[in-house]
C-alpha cells in the first residue's frame, strides 16, 4: 500500500511535468509565432550587445538568423561582407541605452540593394533583473519609409501653401490700402459735392475726382496684371539674348539717359542667354534700369552695371547703381510691395518693383536687394531656369 502510495505521486508528477512541458512548448511556439509573424524588426541582445534572438522581420533568411545568435553586429557585418559603419552606429545606440538605462529611439535611413531609401524608426529599451543588473536589451524597428515620403511631400506642400498665404496676405493688404484709399476719397468727394449748391465749388470738387479715379484704375490694372502673371503657368519661354534686351531698354529710355549723362555697362560673359518669357525679362530689365535712373543721386551721373553669373545650376542677374540707395533696416519688409515708395519723387508710384517681383516669382525665381544709403543699390535676381542651349 505504501509502495503504491509512494508510486502514485511520482506518476502524477510525471504526468504533470509532461503536461507542463507540453504547455510550455505550446506557449513558446505561440509566442515565437507571434514574434516571427510580426511585421516589424525585433532583436534581443544580451548585456554585451550579442544577439539572443531575431525575428524574420529583422533578418528574413533562416541561415543568417541562425548564424547571428551569440554574435554581435561586427561579426555579422564581416560575415555578410558589409560596411562596418552600421555596426559602429548600432553599438553607439546600444551603449546609450545601456548607460542611460532608458528607452532610446531614432530614425535611420539606409539604401536598399535596389537603390531605394528605406527609413526605419528604431527603438531600444533595456530590461533589468531584480538586482538592477541589465539582463536584456530589446530592439525593434518599423519601416516608416512611406511616412517619410509623405513627410517630404507634405513639407513641399506646406512650403507652397505658405508662399501662397504670403501672396494672399499681400493681396489683402493691397485691397485694404491701395484700393480702399481711393474709394474712400471718391465717396468723400461725392459727399462734399452733394452738400454744396455752389457750382464753382462743385466744379472744383469734380476736378479732384479725376486723379483719384486714374489712380484707382492704375492700381487695379497692376493688380489684375500681377494676378494674371501668377496664374499664367503656360506662358511660353524663349532663349532671350540679354544684350538685345538691354539694348531695347536703353533705346526706350534714351532721353532720360542722355539728360542725366548715365553710363550703362554690361558684362554677360558668363551667361548671355536666359530661357524666359521675353516680355517678363524685358519688363524686369526695364524696371530695374529705369529705377536706377529715377533714383539717381543728385548731381552724380548714374553708372549702372548689369552682369550675370552662374551659381550652381542657377543664374544670377545683378543690376548695380550709384544712386540714392535705401535704408534697408527700415524698409526691408516693404521693399517689393505694391504702392510702397521710398523717396520723394513725383513719379514714384510703387508699382515697378512689385511687378518685377511678380515677374520673377511667377517663374520660381528670387529677387533681393543690397543697398547703402547715398551710395547705391544692387538688385539681384536668381533665375530658376537653366539656359536651353541652342543646338
Partner 1 sequence: MKSIFLIDDDPIFVYLTRRIIASIDRQCKINEFTDGDLAIRYLEQICEKPELLPDIIFMDISMPVMDGWEFLNQYSRLRPRIKKDIALFIVSSSISPQEVERSKSYRAVSDFLIKPLERGKIVEIIDSARETAG
Q: Residue 363 in contact with residue 356, Cβ under 8 Å?
A: no
Alpha-carbon gap, residue 29 to 19, rounded angstroms: 15
Alpha-carbon gap, residue 339 to 142, rounded angstroms: 54
Least CB distance from residue 222 to partner 1, whole Å? 16
Please say which residue, 22 or 194, places its beta carbon nearer to partner 1.
Answer: 194
Q: Residue 302 in contact with residue 321, Cβ under 8 Å?
A: yes
Least CB distance from residue 198 to partner 1, whole Å? 13
Please say which residue, 181 or 235, places its beta carbon nearer to partner 1.
Answer: 181
Spatial strand order of the sheet with 51-54 comes to 51-54, 41-45, 134-143, 117-128, 104-111
Please say which residue, 158 or 184, places its beta carbon nearer to partner 1.
Answer: 184
111: cell is 539604401
Please say which residue, 369 or 387, places its beta carbon nearer to partner 1.
Answer: 369
Helix count and strand count (H, E) for the chain: 12, 12
Please say which residue, 177 or 307, places its beta carbon nearer to partner 1.
Answer: 177
Least CB distance from residue 289 to partner 1, whole Å? 21
Please say which residue, 282 or 291, places its beta carbon nearer to partner 1.
Answer: 291
Q: Smallest Cα–Cα separation from 317: which of 224, 221, 235, 243?
A: 243
Least CB distance from residue 242 to partner 1, whole Å? 32
310: cell is 552662374
Least CB distance from residue 229 to partner 1, whole Å? 24
Q: Smallest Cα–Cα separation from 293: which of 340, 345, 335?
A: 345
Please say which residue, 52 or 181, places its beta carbon nearer to partner 1.
Answer: 181
Helix (H) or strand (E) holding 141: strand 134-143
Alpha-carbon gap, residue 26 to 352, rounded angstroms: 81
Residue 157 CA to chain centroid, in angstroms?
9
Least CB distance from residue 55 to partner 1, whole Å? 56
Least CB distance from residue 201 to partner 1, whole Å? 10
Alpha-carbon gap, residue 323 to 376, rounded angstroms: 4
Query: What is the residue whose three cell numbers read 524666359?
Result: 276
Residues forming contacts to partner 1 in the complex (CB under 8 A) are 172-173, 176-177, 180-181, 184-185, 187-189, 192, 208, 211-212, 330, 334, 339-344, 348, 350
Amino acid at each position: 500500500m505504501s509502495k503504491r502510495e509512494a508510486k502514485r505521486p511520482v506518476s502524477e508528477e510525471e504526468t504533470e511535468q509532461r503536461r507542463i512541458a507540453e504547455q510550455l512548448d505550446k506557449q513558446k511556439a505561440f509566442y515565437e509565432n507571434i514574434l516571427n509573424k510580426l511585421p516589424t524588426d525585433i532583436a534581443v541582445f544580451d548585456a554585451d550587445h550579442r544577439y539572443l534572438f531575431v525575428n524574420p522581420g529583422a533578418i528574413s533568411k533562416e541561415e543568417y538568423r541562425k548564424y547571428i545568435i551569440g554574435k554581435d553586429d561586427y561579426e555579422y557585418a564581416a560575415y555578410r561582407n558589409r560596411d562596418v559603419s552600421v555596426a559602429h552606429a548600432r553599438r553607439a545606440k546600444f551603449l546609450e541605452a545601456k548607460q542611460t538605462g532608458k528607452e532610446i529611439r531614432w530614425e535611420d535611413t539606409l539604401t536598399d540593394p535596389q537603390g531605394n531609401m528605406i527609413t526605419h524608426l528604431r527603438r531600444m529599451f533595456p530590461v533589468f533583473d531584480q538586482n538592477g543588473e541589465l539582463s536584456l536589451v530589446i530592439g525593434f524597428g518599423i519601416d516608416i519609409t512611406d511616412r517619410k515620403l509623405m513627410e517630404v511631400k507634405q513639407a513641399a506642400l506646406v512650403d507652397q501653401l505658405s508662399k501662397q498665404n504670403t501672396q494672399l496676405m499681400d493681396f489683402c493688404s493691397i485691397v485694404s490700402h491701395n484700393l480702399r484709399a481711393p474709394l474712400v476719397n471718391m465717396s468723400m468727394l461725392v459727399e462734399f459735392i452733394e452738400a454744396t449748391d455752389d457750382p464753382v465749388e462743385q466744379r472744383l470738387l469734380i476736378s479732384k475726382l479725376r486723379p483719384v479715379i486714374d489712380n484707382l484704375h492704375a492700381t487695379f490694372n497692376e493688380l489684375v496684371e500681377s494676378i494674371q502673371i501668377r496664374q499664367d503657368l503656360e506662358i511660353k519661354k524663349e532663349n532671350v539674348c540679354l544684350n538685345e534686351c538691354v539694348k531695347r531698354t536703353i533705346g526706350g529710355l534714351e532721353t532720360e539717359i542722355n539728360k542725366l549723362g548715365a553710363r550703362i555697362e554690361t558684362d554677360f560673359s558668363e551667361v548671355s542667354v536666359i530661357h524666359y518669357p521675353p516680355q517678363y525679362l524685358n519688363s524686369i530689365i526695364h524696371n530695374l534700369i529705369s529705377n536706377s535712373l529715377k533714383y539717381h543721386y543728385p548731381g552724380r551721373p548714374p553708372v549702372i552695371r548689369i552682369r550675370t553669373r552662374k551659381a550652381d545650376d542657377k543664374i544670377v542677374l545683378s543690376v548695380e547703381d550709384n544712386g540714392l540707395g535705401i535704408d534697408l533696416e527700415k524698409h526691408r519688409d516693404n521693399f517689393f510691395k505694391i504702392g510702397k515708395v521710398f523717396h520723394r519723387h513725383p513719379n514714384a508710384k510703387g508699382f515697378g518693383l512689385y511687378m518685377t517681383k511678380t515677374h520673377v516669382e511667377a517663374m520660381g525665381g528670387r529677387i533681393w536687394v543690397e543697398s547703402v544709403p547715398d551710395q547705391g543699390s544692387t538688385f539681384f535676381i536668381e533665375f530658376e531656369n537653366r539656359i536651353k542651349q541652342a543646338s
